[in-house]
Amino acid sequence: MEKIDQCHSTNSLLLERRTEGVLWTDYQTAGRGQAGNGWESEKGKNILLSVGVANPPVAVDQQWRMSMLFSLVVWETIAALTDETKLTVKWPNDIYYDDRKLAGILIEHCLEGQKIAYSVLGIGLNVNQQEWKGTAPNPVSLLQITGQEWDREKIVEDLWQRWQAGLPLLQDEPKLKALYMAHLYRRKGLFPFVEREVNTTPTMNASSGTEGQFMASIEDVSPTGELILRDDRGTIRKYHFKQIRYVVNTDGK
| pLDDT tens digits in sequence order for the chain, 253 residues long | 899 999 999 999 999 999 999 999 999 988 765 545 566 788 999 999 999 999 999 999 999 999 999 999 999 999 999 999 999 999 999 999 999 999 999 999 999 988 999 999 999 999 999 998 877 779 999 999 999 999 999 999 999 999 999 999 999 999 999 999 999 999 999 999 999 865 544 444 444 445 679 999 999 999 999 999 999 999 999 999 889 999 987 664 4
Q: Are residues 129 and 235 in the same domain?
A: no
Instruction: Map residue 208 onto helix, strand or coil.
Output: coil
Residues 107 and 152 in one domain: yes
Q: 50, 53, 70, 71: which is closest to 4 by C-alpha?
A: 50
Domain-ending residue, one of 182, 199, 219: 182
In terms of domains, do 17 and 98 share one? yes
User: Residue 251 has what pLDDT?
Assistant: 60
Whether 39 and 79 map to the same domain: the answer is yes
Residues 197 and 81 in one domain: no
Distance CA(155)–CA(172), nearest Å, equals 26
Residues 158 and 235 in one domain: no
* pLDDT of the residue at 212: 79
Asked whether residue 65 is assigned to any structural domain, the reply reads: yes
pLDDT computed for residue 183 by the predictor = 98
Q: Is residue 69 part of a domain?
A: yes
Q: Are 234 and 115 part of one and the same domain?
A: no
Domain range enclosing 242: 191-246
Give yes or no: residues 115 and 219 share one domain.
no
Residue 35 domain-assigned? yes
Q: Are residues 9 and 43 in the same domain?
A: yes
Q: So what's the pLDDT on residue 249?
A: 76
Prediction pTM value: 0.90
Note whether residue 56 is domain-resident: yes
Do 7 and 41 fall into the same domain?
A: yes
Asked if residue 41 belongs to a domain, the reply is yes
For the chain, list the strands marked E by DSSP: 2-7, 21-28, 47-54, 87-90, 94-97, 100-112, 115-125, 191-195, 214-221, 227-231, 236-239, 244-246
Provide the domain count of the chain: 2
Q: Say if CB 150 and CB 143 are below 8 A apart.
A: yes
Domain boundary among 155, 182, 209: 182
Task: Using alpha carbons, list the distances in angstroms from residue 133 to 49, 105, 106.
Answer: 21, 20, 22
Q: Are residues 198 and 174 in the same domain?
A: no
Residue 98 contacts residue 127 (beta carbons within 8 Å): no
CB 90 within 8 A of CB 185: yes
Regarding whether 128 and 31 lie in a shared domain, the answer is yes
Domain boundary among 126, 153, 182: 182
CATH number at residue 159: 3.30.930.10
